[in-house]
Amino acid sequence: MQHYGFALAPAVLLTYVKRTFLVMLGRLPVKGTFLVDAAGLWQAIWASLIFTLLVSLYPGMSHGAGLIFANMLMQVVAVLLMVVLFFTVLNAMGLQDRALGYIVPFLWIENVQHLFAGLVQNIVIVTGKPNLLMLITPMIIWSVYWLWRLGREQLQRGGWISAGFLALSFGIDLVLFFVVQQRLQLPTG
């Protein structure tokens, strides 16, 4: 399977989004689907920032640049903190050789979930129909399952270790959300 190194072109990002969906559908194996080296890690990190910017533009037009800035800042801190903590924990567990094979696909699954959820939120803003937010729920459940399964398969340490990494990821996002919410007094609705 062709990999694109550090390329961030729209076609490359869409290729990895498609590959991630195929992995989540069970049509592609995790191994070999993603570039699991430093370039692949940074590509996944930058993709998360690009997707955050894309899904923040429309809401940012009505709530101001502060919303875009807050979303971008929260995403940068969350992703980098998560990656550093994951590497630290995996190194302490003696799993440093499996770190990139776990973290890179983890980021891509989160990226796809974030992109889908952001697009649904933008549709809700455009249509004014908050009931559409329920479309996010199946994607979240599906993503959580695949993130858990990814940890179980890639780390080969069982479901509880995988659940611990999920909890760490969600904890980081939750704490940062509340910190940013309190500091910038962003609208919640």
Share of the chain above pLDDT 90, in %: 48
The pTM score is: 0.87
What pLDDT, on the 0 to 100 scale, is given for residue 185?
Answer: 57
Who contacts 45 (Cβ-Cβ below 8 Å, separation ≥6)?
79, 80, 83, 107
Residue 27 maps to a domain:
yes
Residue 4 maps to a domain:
no
Helix spans in 93-158 (H): 99-127, 136-155
Residue 1 maps to a domain:
no
Q: Taking 70 as the threshold, does the pLDDT of residue 59 lie above it?
A: no
How many residues can be counted in the chain?
189
Q: How many domains does the chain have?
A: 1
Domain range for 93 is 10-184
What 3-state DSSP class applies to 131?
Answer: helix
Residue 3 maps to a domain:
no
Residue 189 maps to a domain:
no
Share of the chain above pLDDT 70, in %: 87
Residue 163 maps to a domain:
yes
Residue 143 maps to a domain:
yes
Residue 137 maps to a domain:
yes
